[in-house]
Chains A and B, each alone.
Chain A
Amino acid sequence: MADMYQLASASLDPLFAAITASGRRILAPTDQDGRTELNPVTRFGQVAKDYVQTTLSAKEAVFPKVEQLLSYTLLPGKVDLVDAEPAAVPTVVFGIRPCEASGFQALDAVFNWDYRDKFFNARMEQLTVIGMGCTRRDDACFCTSVGGGPGSTRGSDILLTPTASGYLAEVQSDKGRAIVALAAKLFTPAAAADKSMLVALPAAFDQPALSAKLPAMFDSPLWAEQSLRCVGCGACAFVCPTCVCFDIQEEADTRQGRRLRTWDSCGYHMFTLHASGHNPRETQGARWRQRIYHKFSTYPERYGQLGCVGCGKCTRACPVDMNLQEHLVEASQA
């Protein structure tokens, strides 16, 4: 059960000061080269005012593009292997949208469903999410079609929803309560949840019905048709808050080296290419289908949640204007 508070607009500056004083780093959307991206800030005044979404996702806070898994020194007849410790610093991600906030749960499902990934967990433990409900949307948004919403609290330790006088703060977790405790006098208990400023977004398709019909649609020509213009650039996976697929690569000289985990994409030809030359997913159509099926069929079956939060970042980033929402609507109607 969430604790509800009112937070005046003028309280965000002192709140940022209190968070910074506690030794936590704040990552928030800022204007950057004509885009909005998460960057370290210390004052609320630095935060972008008029954004729908950041271009990149917040997943980098817990799953960096490149991460060292181990290092070693090569000696004659001997290898000195050194474990890597993730540099996890206490971090508050502020102002991400409810869709993205829920994306952390999809990452957690993969990183911990069996073997536990200490690199992800160390960062996740240090992460507090202060989400921001949406008063605006654009044509790429479809969170309400995949179980989310402009005011969804899922994944946020505190969800702020803009109101006429400031913000409604819904505190969801101990991590959220720890933030409130830093500046308790800024938070006034709220009797009712005022969510009148949230943007309306009708669902565009019936996701449970789509997930149910996907297994029978595997051989449909739809996937090849939809992906005809896909150039396999992988931008969709890189901006996605839930895409977790990674590569492991070596960086070494003759005496020492390190093993790195890097982001990868199922949209790449090399992703599944066998050493023999055989490729189980030889065409871009097969790779596009994998993207859809992994998120809308494998995830629900395996982890009890979708691998898509409807943020639309992939659609905004696609250089050939592939629109995930439109493609899902089309699949629903096929």
Chain B
Amino acid sequence: MSENNIYLPYLLRIAKITEEAPSVRTFRLEFVDEEAASSFDFKTGQFGLYSAFGEGESTFCIASSPTRKGYIECTFREVGRVTAGLADKEVGDIVGFRGPYGNVFPIDQWRGKNLLFITGGIALPPLRSVIWNCLDLREQFKDITIVYGARSVNDLVYKHELKEWEERPDVNLVCTVDPGGETPDWTGKVGFVPLIVEQLAPSPENTIALVCGPPILIKLTMPLLKQLGFTPESIYTTLENRMKCGVGKCGRCNTGKSYVCKDGPVYTLDQLNQLPAEY
């Protein structure tokens, strides 16, 4: 009896590379195998293991929206062996992908609600998938607000898309950079993301909040939202624990009784509160 090898990746060809910020790139990836291309499906919030053959695998979210067919995108910062190997790749080169893994943002349950995205730095990619998914189904949702910040203007990722969201009348984008990170022609806000959220004072009424960022952003934003009246069930985040297998076996992402790769990466604050703070 022969079973499938769950560690065998799909092969994908790099169709496009976008330089987002210093050391940060986005790959648009297309399946080499036509059958895989047509059968592959995922939902927003899911992730995968991306391989640079010769270096290994790294875990990133799928940063594109499932409404955009024929490709997936990932955005990564060059920090280690695998991401350096990926950064060396050029258009036309082959990378590996295992996935989609993990649970999803339940956007079907959010019809008729306002969506508030709060994110910083390179934590925008997982929410970018949700943002485009919801924008592609725009009539299903009410107000869409995005608060996004980075250390400096240059560190903002998806600069072209930020411009597009800024220009759309049906999106309220608030961009900010940390004090000292602004340029002379910067027209956005200056200040840390939680401070900007505090100034914005979004209403919790009929609103789902999605928060994703470095630990300090999460730590400061969660109490703020609670103070504003958001319930723990209405606040979502996505965790990015270190993983090797992605399929609930290697043990790395285990936190309390949860395996982030299986029970996550998407958690409500309510669920997060029941986990030990080991993420």
A residues whose Cβ falls under 8 Å from a Cβ of B: 69-70, 72, 74, 77-79, 81, 83-84, 110-111, 113-119, 121-122, 125, 218, 244-250, 252-254, 257, 259, 261, 264, 266, 271-276, 278, 280-281, 286, 290, 293-294, 297-298, 301-302
Contacts and interface: CB of A to CB of B under 8 A. Distances in A.
B8 A83 contact: yes
B103 interface: no
A290 B277 CA distance: 12
B251 A280 contact: no
B257 A298 contact: yes
B248 A114 contact: yes
Given A77-B94, A276-B214, A301-B257, A113 B8 contact: no
A292 B250 CA distance: 17
Contacts of B245: 246, 248
16 contacts: A72-B53, A114-B247, A115-B6, A116-B3, A118-B6, A122-B3, A244-B249, A248-B7, A250-B57, A254-B54, A259-B56, A259-B57, A274-B241, A280-B241, A280-B277, A298-B254
Contacts of A293: 256
A250 B56 contact: yes
Interface of B: 1-9, 11, 51, 53-58, 77, 79-80, 83, 92-94, 96, 214-215, 240-242, 244-245, 247-252, 254-257, 262, 276-279
A252 B247 contact: no
A83 B5 contact: yes
A254 B251 CA distance: 31
B252 A271 contact: yes
Nearest to A81: B11
Given A245-B252, A272-B241, A81 B8 contact: yes
B79 to A, nearest CB: 5
Given A77-B93, A246-B250, A290-B254, A114 B262 contact: yes
A271 B253 CA distance: 9
